[in-house]
Amino acid sequence: MPRFRVDDAAIDYRIAGQTGPLVVQLHGLTSSRARDAEMGLDLVRALRGHRVLKYDARGHGSSTGTREQASYRWDRLAVDLLALLDHVAPGESVHAIGPSMGTGTLLHAAARDPDRFASFTFALPPTAWGTREAQAEGYRASADLIEEHGIEAFIEQGGTAPVPPALADAPITYPEVSEALLPTIMRAAAASDFPDPAAVAAIRIPTLILAWTGDPSHPLRTATRLHELIGGSRLVVARTPYGVMAWPGLFAEHVITAAT
């Protein structure tokens, strides 16, 4: 697989397809492009006639990273994304989709360079703004747990968390981050937030928002707030696994509609 060097990290990526507009899919915290696919979150699989870029964020999956906490904040991950796009598709306006941390990364990228994007799909928007601090406390506690008792204790703790109804049939998966880097990445997540609401409200790009219910880490409140802020956006909420199964088709429809 090719790698792209950006500052102190090597970003592992893959482009599928030879022709057509470019689509980029990001992933969530502690995940990777392979793990998201295993969880049923390969959200571009229904799209045809496009080139598809998938990559592992720094420190995740097959990409490398350091123990510099600031390099994993969402605003810094947006710099990585824009640099990678400049490398693989200079000057091209791209369609972008990302769950959770991927949504945070895309929002910061939009604030930096909105002309880079032809459409957005924000999947599973995480806690943000007023709800972020409580989640941040949990991330900092998880970082301490990993340092004191190891990654297995973190995995065991995660196994006791309630499962959203839409994930009822999802397979068990494990973090795609090394034990050495995981505390740093968790603390960086605790220090991350969406851009100011005014910056989000300035988005003028066709936007689809995909959410599910029963998940305190990805509350419907955030998705609803994004929908309120971004004029003309569409919000779709999944309440069962069948709702999530419809997401790739909804995304493909959104991309095609945005291009016409």
Q: pTM surpassing 0.85? A: yes
**Residue 205's pLDDT is what?**
95
Q: In the numeric block, which tokens belong to residue 59?
A: 């420190």
**Residue 256's pLDDT is what?**
95
Instruction: State what percent of residues in the chain have pLDDT above 90.
Output: 87
Using 50, 70 and 90 to split pLDDT, how confident is the model at 1?
low
Using 50, 70 and 90 to split pLDDT, how confident is the model at 234?
very high
Closest residue by Cα to residue 118 from 87, 96, 103: 96
Q: What is the CATH number of domain 3-258?
A: 3.40.50.1820
* Residue-range domain boundaries for the chain: 3-258
| pLDDT at 166 > cutoff 90 | no
Q: In the numeric block, which tokens belong to residue 56?
A: 């592992």
Section 222-240 average pLDDT: 97
Mean pLDDT of the chain: 94
Could you tell me if 158 and 141 are in contact, meaning their C-beta atoms sit under 8 angstroms apart? no
Cα end-to-end distance, the chain, whole Å = 33
Task: Give 71-120 pLDDT, tens digit per residue.
Answer: 999 999 999 999 999 999 999 999 999 999 999 999 999 999 999 999 99
**Residue 40's pLDDT is what?**
85
**Residue 160's pLDDT is what?**
61
Task: Report how far apart, in Å, the C-alpha atoms of 230 and of each of 93, 198, 201, 203, 225 are.
Answer: 19, 10, 5, 6, 9
| pLDDT at 50 > cutoff 70 | yes
Q: In the numeric block, which tokens belong to residue 159?
A: 């196994």
What is the Cα gyration radius of the chain? Answer: 17
**Residue 159's pLDDT is what?**
65
Cα 50 to Cα 255: distance, rounded to the nearest angstrom: 10
Residue 212 β-bridge partners: 238
